[in-house]
Amino acid sequence: MQKSVIYITRKIPRTLVEPYEDTYEFRMWDKADEPVPRDVLVTEAKNADGLLCLLSEKIDADFLDQVPNLKIVANMAVGFDNIDVNEAKKRGIVVTNTPDVLTETTADLTFALLMATARRITEASDYIKQDQWNHWSPFMLAGSDIHHKTIGIVGMGRIGEAVARRAKGFGMKVKYYNRSRKPNAEQELDATYLAFDELLETADFVVSLVPLTAESKQIFNKEAFEKMKRSAIFINASRGGVVDEAALIQALENKEITAAGLDVFEKEPISADHPLMKLENAVCLPHIGSASTATREDMISLCFKNIAAVLTGDEPLTPVN
């Protein structure tokens, strides 16, 4: 009996593939850190039954028209804005993502980004590397306190709640905005629901954890940054598309807000000459929210479980459509 073919768009450790090798034939892009070229992806996917891909792969109608055998697209991410889910559904192709397994790790990174930005950690490290530390003064590299401040979380999903738990450990007041209220979070985390504008006006830290949708696209725009306190710090660990980047750059340059910590950008990857990289009050990371070894292995494992379920006629564990 011929094995079903699974194509993986990045090189991953063989140990993660081995449990499934007796059942499936695996093909894999041979570079771990470079995206598979579009033409190679199409050629390989034409003969594949399952596809394990990353956010960098655009799975649109044109692509789906060329892959008649494909039964499942397993996206190694919580978000799936790289996939035209409706077009996949029309063709009977299942789309899955990887929620839950990366919640705590992404919350860790989000809070680390908040702390690094508030306390100017990267600036301070560069200060020594550039051999500038030849004196001490009372306000040298003085940053913002975190304890007992107000955090405003936009997008109170799993990761938002995990960030709120960390904030409570710092004695922070937790405010949130979400499409729907979360009574359990309000009770368990002593979180207060606010309208979006009110959250912007009152929070010391505005943290974006909202998924990218038509409604949330560039929700953080010029008007949003103008509503924030001048002392506010903006953190984005969701999707770059929820921010009007030009407006953010202007807000940072004009000191309309104090600082920003960013793990995601409008167009990724960004280069060293990106305007945000030239600002001392911006901490920029290369989209590493879930980047711990254990979590990335768990994400890949969940992708395989979803693929195996669909290819054997069972229901996937984490379907999007």
Select which of 10, 166, 287, 296 is catalytic. Answer: 287
135 assigned to active site: no
| Tokens encoding 94 | 């299942």
27 assigned to active site: no
215 assigned to active site: no
| Closest to 206 measured CA to CA, from 144, 158, 125 | 144
Is the distance from CB of 152 to CB of 206 less than 8 angstroms? yes
| Closest to 176 measured CA to CA, from 204, 206, 138 | 206
Q: Is the peptide bond before 269 cis (omega within 30 degrees of 0)?
A: yes
Select which of 18, 226, 268, 280 is catalytic. Answer: 268
Chain centroid offset of residue 168 CA: 22
| Closest to 274 measured CA to CA, from 291, 288, 260 | 260
Select which of 10, 120, 166, 239 is catalytic. Answer: 239
Query: E strands along the chain, which residues?
Result: 4-8, 24-28, 50-53, 72-75, 94-96, 150-154, 173-177, 192-193, 205-208, 233-236, 259-262, 282-284
Q: Which amino acid is at 138?
A: P
**Secondary structure (H, E, C), 96-121:** ECCCCCCHHHHHHHHHHHHHHHHCCH
- Which pairing describes strands 150-154 and 205-208: parallel, antiparallel, or unpaired? parallel
Active-site amino acid positions: 239, 268, 287
